Structures are given as structure tokens and as C-alpha cells.
Structure 1
Amino acid sequence: MADVTIIGAGVAGLWAAYALARRGITPRLIDRNGAPGAHGCSWWAGGMLAPFCEGATSEPAVIAHGRQAATDWAEVTQVVQKGSLVVTLARDRAELDRFARRTTGHSRISGAALTDLEPDLATAGREALFFATESHLSPRRALADLVAALAQRGITIERDEARPDDIPGTVLDCRGLAAKAPGLRGVRGEMVMLHTPEVTLSRPVRLLHPRHPLYIVPRGDGVFMLGATQIESAGPGPVTARALLELLSAAYALHPAFAEAEVIETGADLRPAFANHVPRVIRQGRVLHLNGLFRHGYLMAPALAHQAADYLQTGTKGDLFHED
């Protein structure tokens, strides 16, 4: 059991190492780029632990496993448990009705109740869905905290170009698209970081829009992460002008003060996804592929890691486990 190597130190690989370490198994952890950073799509995530919101478009497995994510993450990093809010512009109220029908775990609020939660969003006549049990975290802090938790157990990240064929014994391949797992494709996501002292938000806010849906995650100190785009693409590259325009236009529609915000960072990367957008542990001989996290990286990485660890320790095959 000591002969386990994990390739890839993004959110999937770090969680796999942590899940094994908690069971007394010390893995070797390697990544061609070393510690987490801008080279990995985990770096550009929103960090929303919002299984009920994701239920609007996701498979039941994402909701079921995602409900445990906040508890798992709280072992290693700060988790903000203030729920999440879903709003629309006045002309798009039908979108809110549609979202409400597709999800559970929410209450419908307006007026004084909305003012109490997010005063800056409480415009006349606005209604919202409040998902009180959802949470969020800061992805970059979470990655750093996972690295620190592993270091306390004597597990460090080796910088190495090794591939599964180069390594004896059991291998957990957590390299995302680089692993070329069967059925995997790239889904491009783009984001922008803004700074403005004119807006105060306490929790993630999703703006439903027929053309430009948007989520905004507060990072503290007047910093906000905006994300929304989902483009089927295998090509990397910087944020496009169209994506930036759509993100900023939607943010301005949500609150006019965002028009004067300072753009402090933009980023884009390819998220690995399977056809049904549910991640998998895929066994190919002695190699386990942990992959397909799509936009659910922080929501589903703990569950994927636990199922891989279950299989290695007891042979148990969970619902995310597949044989190739």
C-alpha cells in the first residue's frame, strides 16, 4: 500500500494525497510544474460549494456528493458558511421561476429579508432564491492549506515530468486533460477579478440571464471574482474580449458600481469534463484516473479522492468508479 504515486498536484491530486494520508498511506506526489499555480485550472476556480444550485443543470451524483464537500474542506481550510443567493434582473423574473423549479434547498425572499442578507442588491421589487446551507472558500488559499497539511505529514510535491508508464506500482493519474483519459474533453472557462470598495457582498451571487449568466464570489477587502463562460474548446489562450465584455456588462447590470471597479486579474483555462459532467475514478490496470471534475472541482474533489482511497484500501467500488 505504500507504493502509490499520484501525478498531478491540482485540487484532485492534492485531495487524493490527503485522503490516502488520513488512512495511514503515504503517497509519492509529483507534478511537472511543482506547487499549485496559474498553470492549473484549479487556480482559476470560483470556490463555490453549492450543490443545490448546481442541481439546476447537474446529475444527482453531483448534488449527493457535493453536500459533504463543505464538511470535508473544513478539515483543512476556512469555509465560509453564509449560503448563496440567486437573483435576476426585473425583466428576467421567469428565469428565477425556472431555476426554482429545477432546484431544492432554497427559500424565496424579497424586501426586508433580502436587505438583511445583501443590502447592495435589495432594489425595489427584486426577488431572490436563498440557499442557506451552501458555502464557499478561497481556492488559492485552499490549495495552499492542502499543501501545508500534506507537508505536516511529510508529503511534499516533487517536480518531475514522469508519466504513469515510467512509474512502478499503483498510480493515481490526476493530470486533467494532460492525462488523456477516455471520453475526456476540454471545456473552457474564463474569469476576471475586480476590486471596488463601492460594493459589499457577503456570499456568492448568481445572476440568471438568458444570454450572459454570471456568478460573483466575494474574496474580501473589496475583491470579487466574476465567472460565467463555458465554451466547448480544446484550445488554451487568454481571456477573449467577448467574454470580458459579457462578464463586465452582466456585473454592471447587477450593480452599477462595478462599472468603476479596477480590473486586477483575468484568467482562462480548460476544465476536463466527461459527457455527463460527473467526475470519475477510471481503473486502467494499475492506473486510476481521477478526472472529469468539470466546473465542480472544489465541490467534487473530496468525494473522488475518498472513492479512490476506498478502492485502494478495501477494493470498494463507489458510484463514481468505472472500469475501462
Structure 2
Amino acid sequence: MMPDEKPRVLVLGAGVAGLVTAVTLAERGARVTLQEVGPRVGSGASWFAGGMLAPWCEAESAPQEVTDDSLHSIAWWAAHMPDTTINGSLVVAPPRDAVELQRFGRRTSHFETIDAHRIAELEPDLEDRFDRALFFPTEGHVDPRKALAALRERLINLGATVQMEAATSMSDDDWRVDCTGIRAKENLTNLRGVRGEMLLLRCPDVSLHRPVRMLHPRIPIYIVPRENHLFMVGATMVESEDARGITVRAMTDLLNAAYTLHPAFADAEIVEANAGLRPSFPDNVPRVLQEDRTIYLNGMYRHGFLLSPERAARVAAIIFGEEKV
């Protein structure tokens, strides 16, 4: 490749990591081909994500690196997704689990401790349901499925080639970026799958304006609002690579938690119940790894939407000769 020639890059995998990376490269002038073995974008774990952009909340269980590397992700999504919602995150706990709220607060920052009156101002449908909460005002969220489709359209508009149900083959591209998630386990031997289960509920009797995390010592959950009174309820974290659908236990736990948040969820329609495998490294931190002209971006764990912009920028820096991993 001549010094001033645009690099030709093959990106494998059209989950959030692959799409964000492909868009980032194409915006910088690379000639990008995106290949996905599945029938649509988000054929893997990204399809079942919550889409929360919550660097401060995630600090409760994630290392400092995750927080530091995710601080600019909300701005990236807002620039690429006009309907990115930045209404903050609300963390609550039933009275019997108030100690969990205190523990969460000790491990996080950039929040306000609010009382029942303020909770009702932020979320009128939660009035009189919780005495205290933590409010993280600068956090946001996206609808993952809409976001994935929007990134695909952005990529096409940038002149990239997008191939669905594509068989991976040898090519003469300058670089290959592997974002295939758990499918890359053959080459990334320390990669493992962490099972996550989720529900989509439609409940016309409840309105929420931001993600709500409800703490519980055994199964903390989050409920993320989407359009038309649709709510994503997730998500379990099970050390298992079992790829079957959601279990009865997980569905029961998620439904009970939703009901605890608001009794109207008892009459909600179950639109979808599903499970996916989150690709994860031993420390649960996403990595960019280089082997000659192949770059692996993997191990997104539960941080796919949160960390993809920063990790994609690292990939671009390597390809454009600005940085080595």
C-alpha cells in the first residue's frame, strides 16, 4: 500500500463492535467491507443488549479502565444516533435491600442521592414506591436494534460494502479486523461465553424516561424503556456457554423483579424472551489484539455499546499507523 493510499479493511462481524469499528474506519477514509455470517446486523449478543451508556453505574463492578475508556461514548452515540436519550440512570432498591443501595453508592460516583419526592419528579409512575434512589444525571441509552440498523445505513452511505450471510474467505485486503465475538474462540483461546437472559415486555400502564436499575443481592436487574411502552428487562450473568433459550428460573426472576418495580407489569405482554452469549476475557475487559495484519476486537462482555467507540478508535489508530497495541 502506498503511503497516501486508503487502506482496504475487511471487518468480520456485524455486532456493535464490528459496526462501530467499520463506521469509524470508513469515516477516516478506509475502504471497508463488512461481512456477517448471520442474516442481519446484530445476529449475536448485540441483539439482546440493553443499550445503556452508563460509565458511572458500570463502575460498581467494572475496573477503572472501563470507566476511563467509556467517558466519551455518549457523545459518540449522540453524534451517530439522533435519538440517543440522555436522561440519566436511576438506581433503586426495595426497602428490605436498602443496604445494597448504600453498597452501590460506595463503589460509584457522579450521582445524586435523592428522596421519594425527587424520584416522583423524575419518574411519576414510581411515586411512593421507593424512599431513596441514586440518580446518575449524565448517563444515557440507545435502542440497540435501531442503533445497529442506523450504523449499517451510515456505513453504506459512506461507500462501504456490507455483506450478510457471507462466507469468510481469503482476500487481498490490507487489514482484517475480527469482531466475531464468541465465534473467535478458536483463535482467542482465553475467550469464554457469559450467558445473559432478557425479556421484552409491553406494558401500556407504565412509563419510564430512563433506565432503572433495581438492586437485589441475588439478581439485580435493569429495565430500559423503548418506544411504544416496550421495556427491555435484563439481565442475568451466568458463567455458562449454554446457547439455549431463556430458562424458567431466569424468566421467573426477571418477571418478579419487574413486578416489584411496578405491579402493573403483572399485566404486561411478553413480547420476547431470549438469551445470548457475551464474549468475555478472564478480566471481563474488552481487548484489541494484533497479529500481523489481523486485529481482534473482542471480549466486549456487558460493555459492547459503552466501549465500542473507544476500542474502535484504537483499531483505527493501528491501521493508520498512529499506535501499536
Q: TM-score normalised by the shorter chain: which range applies?
A: over 0.9
Matches within 5 A, 1:244-259: 244-259=251-266
CA shift at 1:200, angstroms?
Answer: 1.1
Q: Is the Cα contact below 8 Å between 1:110 and 1:122 reproduced in 2?
A: no
Matched, 1:135 2:140: yes
How well do the aligned residues superpose, as a CA RMSD in angstroms? Answer: 1.3
Q: Is the Cα contact below 8 Å between 2:243 and 2:276 reproduced in 1?
A: yes
Aligned to 1:305, which of 312, 315, 318?
312
Seen in structure 2, the aligned counterparts of structure 1 residues 124 and 226 have a Cα distance that, compared at 3 Å, is closer
Distance in 1 between residues matched to 2:314 and 2:22, nearest whole Å = 12
CA shift at 1:125, angstroms?
Answer: 5.7
Matched, 1:198 2:205: yes
CA shift at 1:182, angstroms?
Answer: 3.5
Secondary structure of the structure 2 residue equivalent to 1:130: strand
Structure 1 residue identity aligned to 2:119: L
1:281-317 CA deviation, whole Å, 9 max, x = no partner? 0111221000010011100111111100011112413
* TM-score of the two chains, using structure 2 as the length reference: 0.94
Distance in 1 between residues matched to 2:17 and 2:233, nearest whole Å = 23
Gaps of 5+ in 2: 1-5
Structure 2 residue identity aligned to 1:249: N
Distance in 1 between residues matched to 2:64 and 2:129, nearest whole Å = 35
**Matched residue, 2:3:** none
Matches within 5 A, 1:43-122: 43-77=47-81, 78-122=83-127
CA shift at 1:220, angstroms?
Answer: 2.3
Aligned to 2:190, which of 175, 178, 183?
183
Seen in structure 2, the aligned counterparts of structure 1 residues 44 and 19 have a Cα distance that, compared at 3 Å, is same
Matches within 5 A, 1:1-324: 1-37=6-42, 39-77=43-81, 78-123=83-128, 126-159=131-164, 160-162=166-168, 166-168=170-172, 169-180=174-185, 181-317=188-324, 321=325
The aligned length equals 315
Secondary structure of the structure 2 residue equivalent to 1:147: helix
CA shift at 1:124, angstroms?
Answer: 5.9
Structure 1 residue identity aligned to 2:228: D
Q: Is the Cα contact below 8 Å between 2:55 and 2:306 reproduced in 1?
A: yes
**Which stretches of structure 1, 4 residues or longer, exceed 3 Å deviation after superposition?**
none
Q: Is the Cα contact below 8 Å between 2:21 and 2:312 reproduced in 1?
A: yes
Structure 1 residue identity aligned to 2:271: I
Secondary structure of the structure 2 residue equivalent to 1:112: helix
Distance in 2 between residues matched to 1:4 and 1:150, nearest whole Å = 13
- Of 122-131 and 302-311, more deviation after overlay is shown by 122-131
Q: Is the Cα contact below 8 Å between 2:287 and 2:297 reproduced in 1?
A: yes
CA shift at 1:197, angstroms?
Answer: 1.2
1:36-65 CA deviation, whole Å, 9 max, x = no partner? 14x311111000000100000001111112
Secondary structure of the structure 1 residue equivalent to 2:150: helix
* TM-score of the two chains, using structure 1 as the length reference: 0.94
CA shift at 1:35, angstroms?
Answer: 3.0
CA shift at 1:255, angstroms?
Answer: 1.0
Secondary structure of the structure 2 residue equivalent to 1:27: strand
1:80-112 CA deviation, whole Å, 9 max, x = no partner? 010000000011100000000000010000122
Gaps of 5+ in 1: none
1:1-29 CA deviation, whole Å, 9 max, x = no partner? 42221111111111111111111112111
Seen in structure 2, the aligned counterparts of structure 1 residues 220 and 3 have a Cα distance that, compared at 3 Å, is closer
CA shift at 1:34, angstroms?
Answer: 4.4
